[in-house]
A and B are shown apart, each in its own frame.
Chain A
Amino acid sequence: MILRLDQVSKSYMRGGQSRLALDSVSLELHPGELIGVFGISGSGKTTLIRVAAGLETPDSGFVSYKGERLDRMSAKQQRRYRRREVGCVWGAQPWEHGLSVLEYVALPLLIDGCDYRTAERTARKFLLACEAEQCLGSDPQRLSDGERQRVEIARALVIEPRMILMDGALSHLALMEQEGIMLLLKSMAREARVAVLVTDSGAGAMLGADSIRYLSDGKLAGEDAAASMGEVVWLPGVSPRQPAADA
């Protein structure tokens, strides 16, 4: 196991009232595993990712990485965790920073102390691996949603993290792009031994994950049973194995 959320709760103040975004959520992530979590807007998906990435501190419960609790790490160790061990991919955001595609993907390496030539070479290779090399000469503002997402994945992957956390990065894509990206994530998980956690508004976008969980009002369905490889936890009463009916 590489990441563990243990009875994590997190609330926010909104309009003068406290709102529970995560309610005693427990989750385990293993190397080579791809887990999907879906839920409607406001169900706590983004908070789940932010807590797992060490960007938010839970109100109760804890997050541990390779057996070590994040809240017991030093500030430097936490920074290292966020910078090296976790790659985050967020949903479609405007391209505002004026960087080229290559510069954008190479940036985490440059921040990490890599020299410019090596960073560029590495970034090109990761763009190729993510099937986004055709974006290299393109105006970033004109990239399609699918291309943009592949560039973001390349950027998250370029530091060779042990985990990839993706939030809301699939359901706005065309079906073919969703499938392509899920295939990429699966191969990454299986062959690079990366642990992948994907959240989105629809379960349909993450079919192919080893396990799919449902998040509702901050509670994770099936949290009393460990996710097993190949298990799909659906809403109560919904099963993909019902015999087909004539239309």
Chain B
Amino acid sequence: MSAKHALLGLLLHRSAYPYELADRLQQRLGPAWDVNSGQLYQTVSRLEQDGLIERVDDAVAGREDRHVFAITGDGVDEFERWFEGATASVRLSRRPLLVKITLAGPERLEGALEKVAAYERDCASNLRDLAGQRETIPVDETRIRADHVLLRLNLSADILQVEGELHWAAQARETIAWLLAHDVVWPTARGLANAMTERDLNRKGAREEIYRRMSSRHIRSADEPPQGPDDSAKRWPRGSAA
């Protein structure tokens, strides 16, 4: 999401200097909204050109950035339109690390394991920072402040996202370890070899026999009411085999 509507939302409540907006974005929405000043001024400039915000005081000579900006009527309408509009669905990410793991092949798999470990360490560090930031939000003892509650919500969402990254990274580590420990078939230029072992064949045979018997029994009795309660002798005649 771009900063445009977040900035309009902040100005909806109070006019501000651009540098104040940068601080407020993070104070209200968390570290994911750490916007660099160049980007911020560009967005403010575009909002002004579109008539959604306006300057409400005279600039200090030589300091064009020292204007207070307020939202216009058009800006309020634009914010309302955006607020009422459908919220975008979650977008799946292309994860470079996952691409590396998927395309590593058998010769690079151990290297991929090290990369996953490094990623996990990075996520854990991220998590510690976010948790630390969450701890700095004042605890309101008398009247609860909505902005504190909502900032905690934003940080919780970030924490859950990083936890999600740690979760799949742990799965990636387990999966790579499993692949390294098992005799698996890797696709080659010539395609997949026919690699069923004797054990695989035995298992397949057992399943086919059981499923065949079960499915024919289930199909035969599909329309019959359940049998009477005491039919064990019928089901297990002496000498019956699986």
Contacts and interface: CB of A to CB of B under 8 A. Distances in A.
Nearest to A240: B92
Interface in A197-247: 237-240, 242-247
Contacts of B94: 244-247
Contacts of B87: 237
Interface stretch (B22-30, B102-110, B232-240): B232-240
Interface stretch (B65-73, B123-131, B145-153, B203-211): B203-211
Given A193-B215, A242-B90, A118 B206 contact: no
A189 B190 CA distance: 33
A142 to B, nearest CB: 17
A126 interface: yes
Contacts of A115: 236, 238
Interface residues of A, number: 48
B214 to A, nearest CB: 4
B156 to A, nearest CB: 15
Contacts, number: 119
A192 interface: yes
A192 B214 contact: yes
A121 to B, nearest CB: 5
Contacts of A55: none
Contacts of A174: 171, 174-175, 178
A76 B228 CA distance: 9
A125 interface: yes
B89 A113 contact: no
Contacts of B178: 174, 176
A125 B206 contact: yes
24 contacts: A77-B229, A80-B227, A84-B226, A114-B232, A114-B240, A118-B242, A122-B242, A125-B206, A129-B203, A133-B203, A160-B214, A160-B217, A174-B174, A174-B175, A191-B207, A191-B208, A237-B87, A242-B89, A244-B92, A244-B93, A244-B94, A245-B92, A245-B93, A247-B96
